[in-house]
C-alpha cells in the first residue's frame, strides 16, 4: 500500500510538505526551548530539593541571598515542589502589576486548606474570591474605611490606648497586648459594630489566638507539613493551629449569631449585617448558588479580623521600638508635632503638614518589612516571564524583602533612614519601591484603613509620650532581631512611656 502512495506524484508532494512541516515544528520547539528556558537556580537533590540550601527559620533572607547569585527570577525546590522567586522592585512590579492576571492566583497549601476550606478572601480563588473581595471593599468603604467615619473610630481608640499606657506612670512595661487590642478594636468596630474592653477575656483570647496562629503559620514545621501533609499529627505546631482555629471560629460564630438575632434589614450596623442583608435579598429573589453563605461570612470575617489586627499592631510595635532605639529621630517627630499640632488631637488632615512624621512612619513600614515574602501566589496559565518559561500552577514568591531593601532603589536600604521619603526641601515624597502592602490583584484590601491607623496611633502616642528603653538598657542594647512567623514581629520587650502633655 505504501508503494501505491509513493507512486502518486500528488501524494509524494503532500508527504514532502508534511515532513517539512514536521521538521520545522521540531526545530521551532527545540529553538523555543533553548530561547525560553526555565528560570535558573541551585541544583536540587532528589526528594529534598534545595531544603539543605535554605534556612527555613529565615527563608526570606536565604532567598534574598540566592537572588544575588541567580538573578531576579530563579527557582528553588522545597522537597519535590518547585517555587519561582521574584526579586527586586522592577521584577516584582512587572509580575504583580503588568501581568496581574497571570500572577494573581493564591496558592492554597495543605495548611491553608485545613484552616479555611477555600472560603473567605485571603486564601481563596476564582469567582468566590472575586465576589468576596469586591463585597468587602465596597462594604468597608460604605462604613468609612479610610475616611472620616473610621477616623473617629481610630481617634476614640487612641484615647483608650493612651489611658492604658498612662497607668504605668512612666515605669517600664510590655506594650504588646495593649497595642494589639487597640488595633483589633478598630477592625472590630467595622466588623461587629462595637469595640471590646481590653480586659474582656473572650476578646483577649481571640486576639492572642490570632497572633499565635499567624506566628505558627510561618514556622519551619508548618512549612514541612505543607510539603509532607501526612506528618501533620506528629507536629505540635500543627495540632496547636488546628485547636486555635477551632476555638477562634467558635467565638466568631457566637458573635455572628448574636448579630443575626438582632438583625434589622432596615438598619445596617456593621460588615456582618451588610452580608446577612445581602444574603437575605438574594434568597428572597430565589438566586441559587450564591457565594453569600454562612461559610464565606465566617471565614471572611476571620480573615479581616486577623489581618486587620496583626499587620497594623505589629508595625506600630516596631515603630515605638525604633523611637526608643533612635531617640534623635523621636525628638524630631515630637518637635514637628508640637510646632504644627500642639496639644490638640492630631487629625488625618494634619498629615500633609507633618512631612517628617509621615516619612518616619513610611520608613518604619519599609525597614520593619513585616511581610517579607507576601503570601504565595500561583500562575493562572503557562507564560513567559523575562525570557523564562513558567508553567500554569507554579508557586510564586514575590520577595518583598528584596523590594523594600532594593539597593538600586534606596540610598541606604539597610539603615533606618526617614530621609528616604523626603526631598531636599524637607517635603514628603512617594517612592515607587515602597510596597509593604504588596501590589496588584492581591494587594492588601485594608491599605487605606491601615495607613490611617498607623498615622493617627503613632502621632497621638508620640504627642503624649516619650518612649525610652527600660532602666539599665541602653539604646544600643534595644534588640531589633525579629520573631519569625508569617509576619516578622518584634521580640517582647519592655519600654517606658514617659508622659509629655
Q: Which of 41, 118, 129 is nearest to 81 (CA)?
A: 41
For residues 324 and 358, what is the distance between their CA atoms, to the nearest angstrom? 18
Q: Where are the alpha helices (DSSP H) in 220-326?
A: 220-227, 236-261, 271-284, 294-325
Cell of 163: 489611658
Which cell numbers hold the place of 379? 500562575
CA 200 to chain centroid:
28
End-to-end CA distance of the chain: 102
* Distance, CA of 233 to CA of 163 (rounded, Å): 44
Cell digits of residue 155: 481617634
**Torsion over CA of 363, 367, 368 and 372, rounded to 10 degrees?**
120
Is 158 assigned to a binding site?
no
Helix or strand or coil: residue 173?
strand
Could you tell me the three cell numbers for 295? 461559610
- 489 forms bridges with which residues in the sheet? 483
Per-position DSSP letters for 400-423, written without gaps between them:
HHHHHT-TTT-SSTTS--GGGGB-
C-alpha cell of residue 423: 526631598
Cβ distance 477 to 325 under 8 Å?
no
Query: Residues 272, 297: contact at Cβ < 8 Å?
Result: yes
The CB-based long-range contact list for 257-260 (8 Å cut-off, 24+ gap) reads 259/192, 259/193
Cα–Cα distance for residue pair 52/79, rounded to 1 Å: 10
What lies within 8 Å, CB to CB, of 2 at 6+ separation is none
Q: Cell triple for residue 64?
A: 534574598
Nearest to 176 by CA among 191, 151, 198: 198
Tell me the three state secondary structure of residue 84: strand
Longest distance between any two alpha carbons in the chain, whole Å? 105
**Interatomic CA distance for residues 140 and 144, integer angstroms:** 6
Q: Are 155 and 164 in contact (CB under 8 A)?
A: no
Only one residue has cell 509629655, namely 500
Annotated binding-site residues read 444
Annotated binding-site residues for heme read 444
Amino acid at each position: 500500500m505504501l508503494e501505491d502512495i509513493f507512486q502518486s506524484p500528488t501524494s509524494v508532494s503532500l508527504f514532502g510538505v508534511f515532513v517539512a512541516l514536521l521538521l520545522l515544528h521540531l526545530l521551532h520547539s527545540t529553538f523555543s526551548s533553548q530561547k525560553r528556558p526555565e528560570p535558573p537556580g541551585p541544583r536540587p537533590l532528589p526528594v529534598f530539593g534545595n531544603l539543605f540550601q535554605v534556612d527555613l527559620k529565615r527563608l526570606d533572607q536565604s532567598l534574598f541571598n540566592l537572588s544575588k547569585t541567580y538573578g531576579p527570577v530563579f527557582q528553588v525546590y522545597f522537597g519535590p515542589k518547585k517555587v519561582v522567586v521574584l526579586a527586586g522592585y522592577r521584577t516584582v512590579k512587572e509580575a504583580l502589576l503588568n501581568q496581574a492576571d497571570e500572577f494573581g492566583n493564591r496558592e492554597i497549601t495543605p495548611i491553608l486548606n485545613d484552616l479555611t476550606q477555600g472560603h473567605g478572601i485571603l486564601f481563596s480563588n476564582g469567582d468566590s474570591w472575586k465576589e468576596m473581595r469586591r463585597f468587602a471593599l465596597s462594604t468597608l468603604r460604605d462604613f468609612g474605611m479610610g475616611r472620616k467615619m473610621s477616623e473617629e473610630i481610630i481617634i476614640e481608640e487612641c484615647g483608650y490606648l493612651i489611658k492604658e499606657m498612662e497607668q504605668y506612670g512612666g515605669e517600664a512595661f510590655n506594650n504588646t497586648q495593649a497595642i494589639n487590642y487597640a488595633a483589633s478594636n478598630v477592625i472590630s468596630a467595622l466588623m461587629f459594630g462595637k469595640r471590646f474592653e481590653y480586659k474582656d477575656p473572650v476578646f483577649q483570647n481571640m486576639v492572642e489566638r490570632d497572633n499565635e496562629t499567624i506566628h505558627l503559620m510561618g514556622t519551619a514545621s508548618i512549612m514541612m507539613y505543607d510539603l509532607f501533609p501526612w506528618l501533620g499529627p506528629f507536629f505540635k505546631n500543627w495540632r496547636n493551629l488546628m485547636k486555635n482555629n477551632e476555638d477562634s471560629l467558635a467565638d466568631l460564630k457566637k458573635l455572628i449569631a448574636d448579630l443575626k438575632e438582632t438583625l434589622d434589614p432596615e438598619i445596617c450596623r456593621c460588615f456582618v449585617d451588610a452580608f446577612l442583608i445581602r444574603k437575605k435579598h438574594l434568597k428572597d429573589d430565589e438566586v441559587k448558588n450564591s457565594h453569600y453563605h454562612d461559610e464565606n461570612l465566617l471565614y471572611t470575617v476571620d480573615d479581616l479580623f486577623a489581618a486587620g489586627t496583626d499587620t497594623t499592631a505589629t508595625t506600630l510595635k516596631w515603630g515605638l521600638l525604633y523611637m526608643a532605639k533612635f531617640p534623635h529621630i523621636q525628638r524630631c517627630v515630637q518637635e514637628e508635632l508640637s510646632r504644627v499640632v500642639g496639644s490638640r488631637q492630631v487629625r488625618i488632615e494634619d498629615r500633609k503638614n507633618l512631612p517628617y512624621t509621615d516619612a518616619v512612619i513610611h520608613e518604619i513600614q519599609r525597614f520593619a518589612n513585616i511581610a517579607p515574602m507576601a503570601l504565595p501566589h500561583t500562575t493562572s496559565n503557562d507564560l513567559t516571564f523575562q525570557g523564562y518559561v513558567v508553567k500554569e500552577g507554579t508557586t510564586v514568591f514575590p520577595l518583598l524583602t528584596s523590594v523594600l531593601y532594593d539597593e538600586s532603589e534606596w540610598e541606604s536600604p539597610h539603615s533606618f533612614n526617614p530621609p528616604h521619603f523626603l526631598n531636599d526641601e524637607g517635603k514628603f515624597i512617594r517612592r515607587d519601591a515602597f510596597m509593604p502592602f504588596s501590589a496588584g490583584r492581591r494587594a492588601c484590601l485594608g491599605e487605606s484603613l491601615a495607613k490611617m491607623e498607623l498615622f493617627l496611633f503613632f502621632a497621638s502616642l508620640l504627642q503624649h509620650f516619650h518612649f525610652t528603653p527600660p532602666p539599665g538598657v541602653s539604646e544600643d542594647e534595644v534588640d531589633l532581631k525579629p520573631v519569625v512567623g508569617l509576619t516578622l514581629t518584634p521580640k517582647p520587650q519592655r519600654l517606658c512611656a514617659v508622659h509629655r502633655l
